[in-house]
């Protein structure tokens, strides 16, 4: 049976994803191309990273909720992020918006279906050095990842 924790994680993701969607819709072309300090990516790449991050978080959450290890290392994530930045540099707002909506909805729905037992299940998490974490910790990270990147993008866009 799903519980209040799963609903809370899903609600938080829905809220931050809604903020990201609104932000994408409000960005000017100049803001979209503004570099984000500390990220070394443009606002557009950061928002696309959030959208793809939902899919990665979902993949990891599914594995961990079954007790399966996440085998990627922190270095693998860094390489993926570098490749993503190159791949998404030319992505426009429409493509990013569609991906935010699709991946956000899919991840939110999956979060809502998690049971307390699944959230409490632990699994090795490679990006954290392979230490075991509960799936609930990953459920928290999904929204926090988006919120932190969105805050950076907002600050950069506000400076233009």
**Which residue in 52, 44, 53 sits closest to 90, CA to CA?**
44
**Which residue in 121, 119, 127, 122 sits closest to 71, CA to CA?**
127
pLDDT number for residue 103: 98
Using pLDDT thresholds of 50, 70 and 90, give the confidence band for residue 80: very high
Using pLDDT thresholds of 50, 70 and 90, give the confidence band for residue 160: confident
Domain ranges of the chain: 4-158
Q: What is the C-alpha separation between 116 and 71, in angstroms, rounded?
A: 24
Using pLDDT thresholds of 50, 70 and 90, give the confidence band for residue 117: very high
Q: What is the C-alpha separation between 157 and 40, in angstroms, rounded?
A: 14
Quick check: 2 pLDDT over 80?
no
Neighbour tally for 113: CB within 10 Å = 11
**Which residue in 125, 14, 5 sits closest to 63, CA to CA?**
125
Please state the separation of Cα 24 from the chain's center in Å. Answer: 15
Whole-angstrom Cα Rg for the chain: 16
Quick check: 27 pLDDT over 80?
yes
CATH superfamily of 4-158: dinb family like domain (1.20.120.450)
pLDDT number for residue 154: 98
């Amino acid at each position: 049976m799903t519980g209040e924790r799963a609903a809370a994680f899903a609600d938080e993701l829905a809220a931050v994803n809604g903020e990201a969607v609104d932000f994408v819709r409000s960005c000017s072309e100049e803001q979209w191309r503004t570099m984000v300090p500390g990220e070394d990516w443009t606002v557009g790449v950061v928002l696309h990273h959030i959208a793809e991050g939902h899919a990665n978080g979902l993949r990891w959450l599914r594995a961990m909720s079954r007790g399966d290890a996440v085998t990627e290392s922190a270095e693998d994530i860094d390489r993926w992020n570098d490749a993503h930045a190159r791949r998404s540099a030319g992505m426009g707002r429409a493509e990013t918006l569609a991906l935010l909506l699709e991946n956000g909805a899919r991840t939110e729905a999956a979060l809502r279906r998690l049971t307390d037992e699944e959230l409490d299940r632990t699994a090795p998490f490679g990006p954290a050095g392979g230490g075991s974490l509960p799936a609930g910790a990953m459920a928290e990270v999904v929204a926090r990842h988006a919120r932190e990147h969105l805050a950076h993008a907002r600050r950069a866009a506000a400076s233009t």
